Amino acid sequence: MNRLKIPQEEDPFLNPLDTILADIAVNVQLPPGLHDKATERYEAVRNYAERDGSPLKGRILRFYPQGSMAIDATISTRGTDDEYDIDIVAELDIDHLSDPHATIGELTDALKGYPTSKDVERQTRCVTVRYADGMHLDVTPAARLPYSRERESHIFHAHPKKPSEHSLVPMNAYGFVEWYRERTPLEDRFAKAFNRRLLEAYGMIIKADAEVDEVPDQTPLYVKNTATVALQLLKRFRNVVYASADCRIPPSVMMSCIAGHAAAPNTSLTDMVIKQARMLAKEIWAASAKREKLSIVNPVFPRDCFTDRWPENIAQQNDFAAALKNLSDGLEILRKQGADLEELQEWLRERFGSHVVSRSVKQFNERMGGAVRTSAQSYSGRGGLFVPSAPALVGIGVAASPAAAKPHTFMGGRRR
């Protein structure tokens, strides 16, 4: 295997805050092995749905990933659990005005008996297939709209106990993914450094002194740019904030849209997290100033509203904006003034979860070769060590508290 020696000036993680944030992102990633397994599983689910005797035999036009899986932004679903939510669209050969209740029912029937350790579960817009290792696939039925651009579709909303709310929902997940990819092209330097770190964390490459094994050309780059890693960190922050809340949570697709708008190559990871958090908070406050609920729509298909089910009221969106401000202000102070490692750990734990932060700091210390002592040193902007003055974390506050979330979908729903 070829080896690559990385000149220091090319390392995008010289700043220790960037380094620790990158390690947190690595620790909430869909692991490389599960990424491949997810692809195999959604192919197997399609084959099962089209088997002989299925109500959908010969009626599935295509299966394609949507949401986080499609833009390489999948993270663990909640807390320290190793749960991963994979979103799939099943485009069916049906009329776009089909009955929502019947359509979701047909897909449920088609997937019943699928050989996993748990039952197939019907939701209001999708059908969930659960696996013993914590992964689950959310399969959403869709029907193409006539005389429309590629994959502009209806999906179907049907709550069994609320028939008056059954509806057809415009959607173009495919178009949004293409837009996001155009806005967030490959950042070669960042992608190679981050993916090397990801593969190293899962024992797929070996680090040796100043040299590391180069990521082989045939190895996929699971994350390709700074904007997507920053998005993963913000989603993790949201999950921790809402981990025990009994309400809908800010939808990932809305946050992905903001990430696409905020994307700027060669931005540091810390700066990109700050930028995305502030941009979303600004959008929320602008809506609240007009006494309106936030409205974020698909940039390629405005009929597709990403915030149709969240927020439920203005107070709810303001709570999330306050949490985002808390995060971005704190990162700004840490970036400018540094902090004692012990205090930094505590601050990060409150916002990204105790388990992953502890693991990330351990990885950071191991990478530094034991040179960092937790309570006696801080870090300069270029990665050097210095004895800290007052770390200026006073007033940053704790993680904002809509409380923290139940397992959710890419569209911001909650499971019961």
- Tokens 């995305």 correspond to 276
CA distance linking residue 221 with residue 215, whole number of Å: 9
Q: Give bridge partners of residue 385 from the DSSP assignment.
A: 379
Cis peptide bond prior to 32, omega within 30° of 0:
no
Distance CA 261, CA 329 (A): 21
DSSP H or E segment with residue 398: none
Q: Decide: helix, strand or coil at residue 269.
A: helix
Q: Which CATH architecture has domain 32-171?
A: 2-Layer Sandwich (3.30)
Give the model's pLDDT for residue 377. 45
> Which tokens go with 199?
């593969």
Q: Exactly one of 18, 23, 72, 138 is catalytic; which is it?
A: 138
The type of residue at 109 is D
Average pLDDT for consecutive 10-residue bins of the chain (416 residues)? 40 88 89 76 91 95 88 69 79 97 96 85 94 88 93 95 94 96 93 86 54 43 86 95 90 97 95 98 98 98 97 97 98 89 90 89 74 43 37 43 44 44
Give the pLDDT confidence score for residue 350 in this predicted structure.
94
DSSP 8-class letter at 13 = T
Residue type, 227: A
**Any catalytic annotation for residue 87?**
yes
- Which of helix, strand or coil describes residue 389? coil
Hey, how many other C-beta atoms are within 10 angstroms of the C-beta on 164? 6
Q: 72, 87, 304, 340: which one is catalytic?
A: 87
Rounded CA separation 215/3 (Å): 9
| Residue 246: active-site member | no
Question: Quick one: pLDDT at residue 70?
Answer: 86
Amino acid 228 reads T
pLDDT of 82: 56
Estimate the share of the chain in helix, then strand, then coil, as percent rounded to the nearest 5.
40, 20, 40
How many Å apart are CA 274 and CA 237, to the nearest integer?
Answer: 12
Whole-angstrom Cα distance, residue 205 to residue 110? 41
Report the C-alpha gap between 332 and 324 in whole angstroms. Answer: 12
Of the residues 23, 72, 85, 304, only one is catalytic, namely 85
For helices 354-367 and 341-352, the axis angle rounded to 10 degrees is 140
Domain segments of the chain as ranges: 3-29+187-386, 32-171
Query: Is 355 in contact with 365 (CB distance < 8 Å)?
Result: no
Does residue 209 carry a catalytic annotation?
no
